[in-house]
A and B are shown apart, each in its own frame.
Chain A
Amino acid sequence: MKRLFAVALGVLTAIGGFLDIGDIVTNAVVGSRFGWSLAWVVVLGVAGICVFAHMAGKVAAVSGRATFEVIRERLGPRMALANLAASFLINLLTLTAEVGGIALALELASSVHYLLWIPIAAFAVWLVIWRVGFDVMENVTGLVGLLLVGFAVALFLLGPDWGQLGQQALQQVPADESPATYWFYAVALFGAALTPYEVFFFSSGAVEEGWTVKDLAHSRLNVLVGFPLGGLLSLAIAGCAAVVLLPRGIQVSSLSQVLLPVAEAGGRLLLVAVILGVVAATFGAALETTLSAGYTLAQFFGWTWGKFRAPARAARFHVTMMACLVVGLGVLATGVDPVMVTEVSVVFSAAALPLTYLPILIVANDPDYMGRHVNGRWLNAAGQAYFGVILVVSVAAIPLLVATGVGR
């Protein structure tokens, strides 16, 4: 019974923890402009994160090494440093977007301007990292994040024409959009589903929680059940926007517009639940990105790291995280639109993906690290196919960003 509870808890937190500000905003933007015609990208991206997270979790559980320790060992100092610089900066951008997301959600809940919420949000993130245990942190944000199921409830309450949504899913570029913006948003959605920090956090979390080979089955279940169900919520967000916003020609540029369909379908109660879900999801992701900043730097330089250690025993790890929160705070204090930061961050995430994906794919095949747990034939077939996709997405990301002026 206790074991069943642990398994259920793991899957539920994986669902609730799957979505972050990048998924919420990008899916809503895409839904309001393209309907469900980019739904295939969500499916592709979710399957990709399953492959990637599964391999990274396996490497962490078997070899005891988190992602950046593997990168540092395997690529050598010079290549790994270039990798670190790119991954660290992009993670910082994502961190900034997540803190902005918490503040935007709190603004909706309180009518207090989001800029006033930003320092409070950043302080709360720091406090949780400093004081709260890893399990409690992950479970609470994951379970409250499950309130985002409200998007799926809203979609059903809206009583959409499923045939029309299905038709959108099969149709390609809508008539009034250019192919460049269509593909730009395809890249953005892929980047939102497959963000590098998720893997830094997942693999480092495996080390934090002391996973061993025995935990592999459990971790596989979390990934293979939890992430796809989280992906369904992504589709629900896009679906809500497609049903309510697309026909009226409303293009999403703020979080309040993302939540408009929920208010229309379910009234105040559902809206409150979903806002709470957004706060939890962005707060959880802010914690994960902040920790990832500490993880990547500490693992590269060989510093003592881990939340399971007292802060005084992992001082540089904690100082890194504080500094990153301060930088994120500084960026947001300039008044830059957090939604814009989010859209840019998912595209850069997509561009940087091969840097972390390739070393994991290689090491997951290395018997020196993995013994008899090296990748099987099917996992390698999927792993290599995704490497091809990731390469194409990575090369296309920045040119599409420039060519479309961030999809405008």
Chain B
Amino acid sequence: MFLGDLLGRPVLQSGRQVGYLADVRLHVPDRSPGQRLGDPRVYGVVVCPRRTGSFDGYERRGLDAPALLARYFRWRARGSFLVLWEDLAHWGEPAVELRPGASRWSPELPPSGPGRGRSPQPDGGSVD
């Protein structure tokens, strides 16, 4: 399976459609055993209630310029959430399915610079 095939697929939870798969999050460790560089690992997927597509970079926290565009891109991606890979029950055709008890995490990424690539923090509440 190609990771790119997942993008745009409908996402279901308990038989109900909760959105579309908008993004896939990778973690690249500094090194993997026996390798000079780390192997990227998929740690989660971002689900958006609408077929929005890319967030155009505005998933990073603290990026709020130019103001009107940033607000528009955030508004377009409203209601999006991150689901960890282990919370996916099924990811083949025709849809991606979440486990009934899957946690919804904030889709925001930390700002650039130190601290990048940390594991996600809970957003402290469910979306919708």
Contacts and interface: CB of A to CB of B under 8 A. Distances in A.
Interface of A: 74-76, 79, 361-362, 365-368, 374-375, 380, 383-384, 387
Contacts of B57: 74, 362, 366
B66 A365 contact: yes
Given A74-B56, A74-B57, A76-B54, A365 B65 contact: yes
15 contacts: A75-B54, A76-B54, A79-B54, A361-B66, A365-B63, A365-B66, A366-B57, A366-B63, A367-B63, A375-B65, A375-B66, A383-B66, A384-B66, A384-B68, A384-B69
A362 B112 contact: no
A27 B66 CA distance: 33
Interface string B45-81: 0000000001011000001011111000000000000
Nearest to B60: A368
B75 to A, nearest CB: 15
Contacts of B111: 367
Given A365-B66, A384-B68, 7 more contacts: A76-B54, A361-B69, A366-B57, A367-B111, A367-B112, A380-B67, A383-B66
Contacts of A387: 69
Contacts of B112: 367-368
Contacts of A384: 66-69
Q: Which of B65, B67, B69 has the most CB of A within 10 A?
A: B65
Contacts of A380: 65-67
A219 B45 CA distance: 43
A70 to B, nearest CB: 11
A79 B53 CA distance: 11
B11 to A, nearest CB: 20
B65 A374 contact: yes
Contacts of B54: 75-76, 79
A367 B54 CA distance: 19
Nearest to A377: B65
A75 B57 CA distance: 10
A75 B56 CA distance: 7
B24 to A, nearest CB: 13
A332 B109 CA distance: 52
A220 B65 CA distance: 21
Contacts of A374: 65
A211 B66 CA distance: 25
Contacts of A76: 54
Contacts of A383: 66
Sorted nearest first, the 10 A-B pairs with minimum C-beta distance are A380-B66, A365-B65, A368-B112, A384-B66, A384-B68, A367-B112, A380-B65, A365-B66, A383-B66, A366-B57
B115 to A, nearest CB: 14
Nearest to B65: A365
Contacts of A365: 63, 65-66
Nearest to B64: A365
B109 to A, nearest CB: 11
Contacts of A366: 57, 63
